[in-house]
Amino acid sequence: MRENSLRRLFGQDVADFWNTVIAEAGHIREIRMRIGQPILIRRTGNDVFLDEQGFFTDLAERAHKVTQQELDDFMMRICQGSPYAFEDMLRQGFLTVPGGHRIGMAGQTVCEESGRIRTMKHLYYLNIRISHQIFGVADRILPDLYEEGEVRNTLIISPPGAGKTTLLRELIRKVSDGNPYGRARNVGVVDERSELSGSYLGCPQNDLGCRTDVLTACPKVQGMFLLLRSMAPEVMAVDELGGREDVEALRTAAVCGCKILATVHGRDSEDAKKRFPELFADNLFERFVIPKGRAEDNANFWGISDPERQFGTWIVVSEEIYRQSKGAADVGQNIGIVSGGNTIRKSGYAGML
């Protein structure tokens, strides 16, 4: 399915040039296109360029350089010949296309008198983020997020590119459909930039479970209140908390009886605590999920056989034990995983970062 959606994205007239990229899509995170610059492929583990025949090369001087015509043709294709139909998305700086792939854009903005961005023109830079849904990546930590049949309020903390959105996406699906540790629940997802659902024209391209309701292209705070009023979620899920207002909206959801699944950027838990102290103020979260160890070491430890993929191990820490530790490093060295504040054992997450 991913390969077919990429083939349609690039178009039949240039399909041969993109064959290598399409074939290796499972290991590609981003495709960067900048006018007058080489096409850059960001793979798991390393970056490469595309040469004039569309093959990978490490040498920038051998790489194919993007032309204005190529970028214009690409944009007209994804906008179906009418950029005006996608003006709202252009104003936000990205488009989501069939298959859930997300295309970020940069160039010259057109602003209104108020300073609000109206649209974007003279596009010179594109970032095609390949959609990856990996089933099963939450299986090893799932039992430690539940207690007495209920999922606990969980915060995933990691730096960009460490796989937290992939992990959250799978947790949403597992909670929505039900699993051996808890019954199925109605899940409300505020997906501001369509990164969880990969929604195209409001229709999710990723599987978030049969009891999940998704609100896209909506700021988190307004979206959470709207879902609370209209969809009666039992679990609320949001990606990449950005400030105090987001946290206060989550507190309101919790008061209304919702369980919480959320992520936040941070080099480690201490970094997140410094930037977002309100996240840790009054025991809102009962489980903290943080990455641990080098990816290649974790792949060996967990018996991952695919050397082309980069995997990470995660540890789950209860709120009580987290507060007793000195931070992520101390937790990782001395605890491994803590469930319910008592049981200590290892757990892991296997997924492409």
Query: What mean pLDDT comes out for the span 311-325?
Result: 60
Q: Report d(CA 227, CA 215) in Å as an integer.
A: 8
Is residue 41 pLDDT above 60, yes or no? yes
Q: What is the DSSP letter of 30?
A: E
Q: For residue 187, what are the β-bridge partners?
A: 212, 235
Report the half-sphere exposure of 210 (CA within 13 A, side-chain side): 5
Give the distance from CA 34 to its chain's centroid.
23
**How far is residue 318 from each of residues 122, 153, 274, 331, measured CA to CA in Å?**
50, 10, 19, 10
Sign of CA dihedral 256, 231, 101, 67: negative
pLDDT at residue 302 in the model: 31
**How far is residue 138 from each of residues 159, 215, 349, measured CA to CA in Å?**
18, 23, 6
**How far is residue 93 from each of residues 11, 30, 90, 120, 208, measured CA to CA in Å?**
22, 16, 5, 8, 25
pLDDT at residue 313 in the model: 60
What would be the CATH architecture of the domain defined by 2-129? 2-Layer Sandwich (3.30)
Q: Report d(CA 188, CA 11) in Å as an integer.
A: 35
Is residue 334 pLDDT above 60, yes or no? no
Q: What is the DSSP letter of 85?
A: G
Domain boundaries, the chain: 2-129, 142-344
What would be the CATH architecture of the domain defined by 142-344? 3-Layer(aba) Sandwich (3.40)
The SS3 assignment for 181 reads coil
Is residue 340 pLDDT above 60, yes or no? no
Among residues of the chain, what percentage have pLDDT more than 90? 48
Least confident segment among 70-74, 116-120, 125-129: 116-120
Q: Which residue shows structure tokens 């990996």?
A: 134
Higher pLDDT, 330 or 220: 220
Are the folds of 2-129 and 142-344 the same? no
Higher pLDDT, 191 or 217: 191
